[in-house]
Amino acid sequence: MTTERNPDHSPAIRLAPAKLNLTLAVTGRRSDGFHELHSVMVPLALHDRLSFAPAAGERDSLTVAFSPALRDDAAALGPPEDNLVLRAIALARQAVGRAANARQLAVRLEKWIPVAAGLGGGSSDAGAALDGALEAWDAELSTQERLEVAAAIGSDVPFFLAGGAALIEGRGERVTPLRGFVGAPPGVLLVRPAIAVCSGPSTPADPRHRRIPVRRASPLSTWPPSSRPACAPSISSLAPGSWRSPTISLARPRSSRGN
């Protein structure tokens, strides 16, 4: 994740990158019901943005603003109270205990990463929330403590604490940083079908593993410049008229040499 420093003490800002699985192998089933994974993952330039400020009330709050490209993703995201961002803050508060003034926080989440698209947006947001909450509270956790909290939030969350390419094993809790790209990282073409699949459940048989239709494609002109392609191939002419064109965008993997 990336930190935006604010010398005038304005709210803490975190940029939560999308991720891409360069390799993915399911090597077995664990006794806890999760799958054993072996995957090489990289963060992308495409990101969400989170800002943190003291809450006016007695509860943490989350406000979500969707980019024009994601207007139809709101249903897939679900209600704010079920969002991993609030879970991350609650677990971070539990971890710091009485060592810090872990006051309630108001978080604004600006969504640019497509929801339920396999890009890890929710997990990345949670990792950014963990880090942003600790800064807002002026609290510290060791690297191991952060990893334990991240694993308790969700299987993909520990990866986003690595800050670059990494080998992921176990259910996601074992993270081995890898050497980054030599020279400029390559561009990546992301093609998002006009259908979303929730990835939380561990097996397709789970009734919560449902498909959520996305009503229309997102114009490329609405994506931030960092993730917009120089040219946009059109595939709409290849699809039946009743289908929807997917979202297509370019992003670049981040270098592991720094964010």
- Distance CA(9)–CA(193), nearest Å, equals 41
Cβ distance 88 to 127 under 8 Å? yes
156 is catalytic: yes
Q: Which residues face 175 on adjacent strands? A: 168
Selecting among 48, 72, 131, 156, the annotated active-site residue is 156
Give the containing element (helix H, strand E) for 168: strand 166-170
Selecting among 19, 60, 125, 131, the annotated active-site residue is 19
DSSP alpha helices (H): ranges in the chain? Answer: 74-77, 84-96, 121-137, 143-153
What token pair was written down for 44? 């992308």
Angle at 62 between CA 60 and CA 63, to 5 degrees: 150
19 is catalytic: yes
What token pair was written down for 55? 């809450």
Angle at 120 between CA 234 and CA 71, to 5 degrees: 55
Residues annotated catalytic, as ranges: 19, 156
